[in-house]
Amino acid sequence: MNEYKVVFLPDSSTVTVNEDENILDAAFRAGISLKSSCGGTGSCSRCGVIIKKGLARSEGVGKLTREQLSKGYVLACQTYPRSDMEIEVPESNRLSQHQVLISEELNNHMSTHTFDPLFQKIKIALSPPSLDDHTDDSSRLFSVLRKTLNIEHLRLNLETVQKLPRILREGNWRITVSLADIKGCYEIVNVEAGWNHRNYYGLALDIGTTTVVAQLVDLETGESVGIEGTYNKQAVFGDDVISRIIYAVEHKKGVEQMQRTILTTVYELITTLIKDKNINYEDIWYVTCAGNTTMIHLFLGIDPEYIRLEPYVPAFNSLIPIKALDIGLAVNPRAMVYCLPGTASYVGGDITAGAEVIGIDKQEKISLFIDVGTNGEMVLGNKDWLMACACSAGPAFEGGGIIHGMRAMDGAIENVDIEPISLDVHLKTVNNKKPIGICGSGLIDCIASLQTTAVINRTGSFLAFPTNKRIRITEGEKEFVLAWAGESGNSKDITISESDIKNLIRSKAAVFAGISTMLKTVGLALDDIEQIYVAGGFGKYINLADAIKIGMFPDLPLEKYKYVGNSSIMGAKKILLSKEARDDAEQLTGKITYLELSVGNDFYEEFISALFLPHTDLKLFPSTTEGLR
Amino acid sequence: MNEYKVVFLPDSSTVTVNEDENILDAAFRAGISLKSSCGGTGSCSRCGVIIKKGLARSEGVGKLTREQLSKGYVLACQTYPRSDMEIEVPESNRLSQHQVLISEELNNHMSTHTFDPLFQKIKIALSPPSLDDHTDDSSRLFSVLRKTLNIEHLRLNLETVQKLPRILREGNWRITVSLADIKGCYEIVNVEAGWNHRNYYGLALDIGTTTVVAQLVDLETGESVGIEGTYNKQAVFGDDVISRIIYAVEHKKGVEQMQRTILTTVYELITTLIKDKNINYEDIWYVTCAGNTTMIHLFLGIDPEYIRLEPYVPAFNSLIPIKALDIGLAVNPRAMVYCLPGTASYVGGDITAGAEVIGIDKQEKISLFIDVGTNGEMVLGNKDWLMACACSAGPAFEGGGIIHGMRAMDGAIENVDIEPISLDVHLKTVNNKKPIGICGSGLIDCIASLQTTAVINRTGSFLAFPTNKRIRITEGEKEFVLAWAGESGNSKDITISESDIKNLIRSKAAVFAGISTMLKTVGLALDDIEQIYVAGGFGKYINLADAIKIGMFPDLPLEKYKYVGNSSIMGAKKILLSKEARDDAEQLTGKITYLELSVGNDFYEEFISALFLPHTDLKLFPSTTEGLR
């Protein structure tokens, strides 16, 4: 088979590429992560690159424009080298750092638990053996630990027994013992001679489809040492869990490749976290991990195939802690990794984390917890009962399927205000950079404003008065100009089209239909919800009044709503620091009844009814629809 | 450093040897196991080899005779090559196959237990998931297993979860599940698609200092497939546990080397057991292992250093089952290895096995269990209390420290009868081969006969009437000729000397002193013992009447004695086949009070009193001393 040298510019990264490896995969090997929402099938056309030198065979051009083609653009996923090449990767088509929600504003909502981390090092002194007291070394250690910690179940692994006799005597019967919780039992994962005063840490992980957040925590004090977030490098294999699963299943060693990719993502986060802090990878002794079910399967290298096939069954929802060494995570090889239990294929450990953080199972009040991302996952209930469901909201809230859609990165429009009559637009962008696209919260604002200003009607269609230059028809489709090329960061008009609006309406309808289907199933009305917790990176920037106005969230007083930020990382951290919280989370998961929206209930009907702004049944949105009636 | 080619003859095995590696170690690498009772320190002089060609540097000649030296003999352990060499290894100085006691004559003594092996494969059918029943794969499996087996604690390892979804669907929801007991919990160590009818096996191991016995058992039927025994290849590092420990501790990677050596020994036994039987190493799924504490430490690669240093503390007495893969045993890598718990540094899992086999802790009658080898280990008690001790009997019973001593191999004298007055000798040898030495049971017989015929007195000294040609003085020492050169298998006179006799008296005194010290500690007399179980390879051939006559065992009616054969392998097998027996053994060990004979009791005094034939206190041996009074 022929091999060619391919140089990626401006990085100058060079890799050797077989004639049957596509440029998308080659770029990934070269350390360059290209956008690839569709997972390399040629349909999303986001992985465009420019051939500067050399020959290639392209199997398709997707949605590349004539202009792009004339500039030498090809789709990386459809292109195979036929000579040595130089390829330019445009900045706009690279995956880049996200604005990741890592604040912890929910602290005042968090139910409290005893500080009792899942890992601890304890310093103990043993009485030396004598002819009158010739207990073996292991039993001697056990009996002191049982007394000190008041625990019954202890376990010693072979590696530790092998060195125990020497360590005990080297330390002159003073040793430092590393204890890791493995659900109902402590394992002695290490012994050190003498009293070791080196700090030790735990890592809380939130593995999202789009973003990954890692928080490093001092396990002695419970204090956070740092928190970092980045995009999930798996994004080059597709934007959503379905395309990731398809990639993993249809490629040889696809699961392995996915696992390696998320491990690399986490490795880089850890590297950033420990930098300049005199902390080594080996100082991290326990990992708790929250994520959706697919992400956790891939993190552990478990076949996710059946998650996407009816009847949507995961390999597991709950697992005992596993050794970091067994998955190759860049922490102490003896560290344990505990993945928060999930409820079903589409309600994972991230939702458990959120439900645990708000303590939904401890409350008298009927509460609704909503985590909106590509999927809208929600938990409804109180201390007596809990129900969860997931509705496929689609990628619109994360910028997917929207012409100028993007994630909440620099230059993303996150706030839109349109003046009546003049239709002048006031924008707020992430970090106040010049606008280059629009993210989820901006889209919601935008649609609410377009409706208020009567640019669109209740179905999301443009009304027929193109008397303003911002309303125009391009390539046969109506669109509204949010920012002119002269104001934008990419010298292009930033617009929102009628089909963008319809996409977003479908997304918001899915969320609302999920809520109302659950309520119907348990025989409650919208008014019966006493508290609503909104979580997710998305939740941070959302304008709640506008989300209610477009009929995404129930029309309840704003004081019933609480932002909870990234409750997934918060829950992972909470559990890292408290065995009690871990036990709670396990119990909570056990109590949840999962409602499968695709069968035997009213979801589809509710969805159709919600495909209006705000809804076909205006009585459900009394506060917001006054102006429309 | 210079390297030389050394050829061992007649094997023609060739190895390259550094100038600082001795010939003993080189021979071991070449696959030739030389005798080396002292562990290569030059003191036992058993590793003599003959230099046929080449130059060498010898650091000592030990007890080699002038005649041997003139023939080119050197001590392998003291000799280093200085050129390419050819070395002859005399047959007499090789470790060879033992007559290993592997019968199971105790079957009628064995307390019975439910057949419930520590490993089982079960064939189950699961109902496939549906939209109404979307339990995850792991929980689905758990719930069927819990129902089928009526067990609560189940565990799934990462490796199994990783393949579970595929296996379930490949087998169309019929699968074969491999379950290994890990004390109070079952681990699902494997899943296979469909109902797999391949047989599966367990291995019971008895790892003795001198011999290793392995029994292969069909875990579905409980039937024995075969049993094999061989010498422990570690013998090249010394005859007894002490020299093994010293070797392990004083050599770089000594523990590793010891572990590798016993693993090789076991590997060869397994290879023999599965040969021509359509059984693979991978078909062995569980291993139970009984052995003395030092042997088990070395088997698991655990530092045994402190076993031999006061206050004689082992690294562990009891351990949870470990993975075969973690020690590198030649069975299925997912197999678990369970080592029977021990009581102390010198009362190990082999004694637990024996005590469990006879069910000493279930009996009303006060029983004494004795396992005689290099150490004499014993357990005394009944269902209400148990006490154990170990007395260092020395190597005499195994032929050590006796000029013509040998183990119970072909040609070993195992039975001696001496006629009064004429002193004609009638011998029985192992497998009726021409005599080449004398083993433990022969020695006991011999001393009893010499005493009966008044050749020796009660202290073991020869009486002054050398009127028979069999009684003579060689190199200043009195000796008795058991077989003349013309009758023997090695053309040498086979004799027993006064110091041989004194050595044996010290050994038998240690055993008797152990028994009487235990009795004294609990305030019982010899007569209070209601049953005596004699175990060990040694026990098989022993003439009990003679052992009583020389004062080794208590003077109790012979019907109180029972041979139990190799109770160590029997116990290991019993536990392999019954969780109940395993639980019993664990409990039994917990009940034993260990009596350390080296401190605060009357052992030394008892020992001195027992240095007579049969004892200073003749009243203790009424039946045997009538003729002497």
Residue pLDDT, tens place only, A263-282: 999 999 999 999 999 999 99
> Which tokens go with A442?
């901006």
- Residue of A134, A157, A318 to mutate when probing chain B, most B C-beta within 10 A: A134
Partners of residue B337 in chain A, C-beta under 8 Å:
none
Contacts of A138 in chain B (CB under 8 A): 315-319
Q: Please spell the DSSP secondary structure of B563-620, one letter per residue.
A: EEE-HHHHHHHHHHTBHHHHHHHHHHHHHEEE--TTSSSSHHHHHHHTSSSS-S-GGG
Confidence band of B100 (pLDDT split at 50, 70, 90): very low
The candidate with the shortest Cα–Cα distance to A548, out of A624, A476, A497, A603, is: A624
Strand residue runs (E) in B309-366:
322-323, 336-339
Q: Quote the mean pLDDT of chain B.
A: 90
Question: How is residue A607 annotated by DSSP?
Answer: H
The SS3 call for residue B136 is: coil
Best to test chain B binding among A130, A131, A136 (most B CBs inside 10 Å):
A136
A221: CB partners within 8 A, 6+ apart = none
Whether residue A386 contacts residue A592, with contact meaning beta carbons closer than 8 Å, is answered with yes
Say whether A316 and B158 touch across the interface (CB within 8 A).
no
- Least confident residue range of A440-444, B93-97, B366-370: B93-97
Whose tokens are 């596509």? That residue is A22
Quick check: A165 and B326 CB within 8 A?
Answer: no
A contacts of B315 (beta carbons < 8 Å): 136-138, 161-162, 164-165
Distance CA B319, CA B183 (A): 10
The answer, yes or no, to whether residue A107 has pLDDT greater than 60, is no
Tell me the pLDDT tens digit for each residue of A129-185. Answer: 998 898 999 999 999 999 888 887 899 999 999 999 999 999 999 999 999 999 888
* CB A367 within 8 Å of CB A317: no
Backbone angles phi, psi at A433, to 5 degrees: -80, 160
Shortest Cα distance from B131 to chain A (angstroms)?
A: 5
Res. B547 pLDDT band, cuts 50 70 90 = very high
Whether B113 shows a pLDDT value over 60: the answer reads yes
| Contact residues on chain B for A163, CB-CB shorter than 8 A | 303
**B319/A596 CB distance under 8 A:** no
* Beta strands, E only, B363-497: 367-372, 375-381, 386-392, 412-418, 425-429, 437-438, 471-474, 477-483, 494-497
Per CB-CB distance under 8 Å, the chain B contacts of A156 are: 316, 319-320
How much is the pTM?
A: 0.85
At A98 the pLDDT is 45
Residues of B in contact with A598 (CB under 8 A): 131
Q: Indicate yes or no: CB of A134 within 8 angstroms of CB of B300.
A: no
Order of strands, sheet of A154-156, starting from the edge strand that comes earlier in the sequence: A119-125, A174-181, A186-193, A154-156
| CB–CB contact B316 A136 (8 Å) | yes
User: Contact A166/B301, CB-based, under 8 Å?
Assistant: no
Q: What pLDDT score was predicted for residue B467?
A: 79
**Which two structure tokens, joined as six digits, stand for B179?**
């379950």
Residue A174 class from Cβ within 10 Å (0-12 exposed, 13-18 middle, 19+ buried)?
middle
A615's CB contacts (< 8 A; 6+ apart) are A512, A551, A609, A621
Chain A residues near residue B163 by CB distance under 8 angstroms: 303
Which chain A residue has the Cα nearest residue B298? A162
Percent with pLDDT over 70 in chain B: 95
If one compares B143 and A91, the residue with the highest pLDDT of the two is B143
Contact A162 B138 (CB under 8 A): no
Q: B553-587 pLDDT, tens per residue?
A: 999 999 999 888 889 999 999 999 999 999 999 99
In this prediction, residue A36 has a pLDDT band, given cuts at 50, 70 and 90, of confident
Contact B302 A165 (CB under 8 A): yes
Query: What is the nearest CA distance from A186 to chain B, expressed in angstroms?
Result: 13
HSE, side-chain direction, 13 A CA sphere, residue B598: 13
| CA distance to partner chain B, nearest, from residue A343 (Å) | 9
Q: Structure tokens of A23?
A: 């440029």
Q: Looking at chain A, which residue has its C-alpha nearest residue B341?
A: A136
For each of the domains in chain B, give its residue range(s) and CATH number, in order of start.
Answer: 3-93 (3.10.20.30), 119-193 (3.10.20.880), 201-339 (3.30.420.480), 359-394+510-618 (3.30.420.40), 396-504 (no CATH)
Q: B237 or B563: whose pLDDT is higher?
A: B237
Is the CB of A326 less than 8 angstroms away from the CB of B158?
yes
The rounded Cα A579 to chain-centroid distance in angstroms is: 24
| Residue of A161, A187, A255, A320 to mutate, testing the B interface (most B Cβ within 10 Å of its Cβ) | A161
d(CA B569, CA B272): 17
Give the chain A residue nearest B324 (alpha carbons): A158
Instruction: Kindly determine whether residue A169 and residue B306, on different chains, have CB atoms separated by under 8 Å.
Output: yes
A313: three-class secondary structure by DSSP: coil
pLDDT at residue B626 in the model: 60
**Is pLDDT at A284 greater than 90 in this prediction?**
yes
Instruction: Name the one residue in this structure whose structure tokens are 């070993």.
Output: B412
Could you tell me which chain A residue has the CA closest to the CA of B319? A156
The ipTM assigned to this model is 0.84
Set of chain A residues whose Cβ sits within 8 Å of the Cβ of B344: 134, 136
Contact assessment for residue A480 and residue A454, using Cβ atoms and an 8 Å cutoff: no
Task: Give the residue, A288 or B601, on which the prediction is more confident.
Answer: A288
Nearest CA in chain A to B162: A302
Nearest to B410 by CA among B439, B386, B383, B384: B439
| Nearest chain B alpha carbon to A594 | B134
Nearest chain A CA: its distance from B334 CA (Å): 15
Q: CB B311 to CB A155 under 8 A?
A: no
B420 phi/psi in degrees, rounded to 5 = -60, 155
Burial group, residue A504, by CB count within 10 angstroms (0-12, 13-18, 19+): buried
Task: Work out the minimum CA distance from A263 to partner chain B, whole angstroms.
Answer: 16
CB spacing of A300 vs B164 below 8 angstroms: no
Residues of B in contact with A136 (CB under 8 A): 313-317, 344-345
The whole-chain average pLDDT of chain A stands at: 90
Residue A38 clears pLDDT 50, i.e. is over it: yes
pLDDT tens figures, A361-379: 999 999 999 998 778 899 9
A166·B303 Cβ contact <8 A? yes
Rg (CA), chain B: 27
> In chain A, how long is the greatest CA-to-CA distance?
101
Give the nearest chain B residue to A162 (CA atoms): B302
Q: Choose among A140, A302, A313: nearest Cβ to B162.
A: A302
Please write the tens of the pLDDT for every residue from B9-60.
888 888 899 999 999 888 888 878 888 777 788 877 888 999 999 999 988 8
β-pairing verdict for A48-53 and A85-88: antiparallel
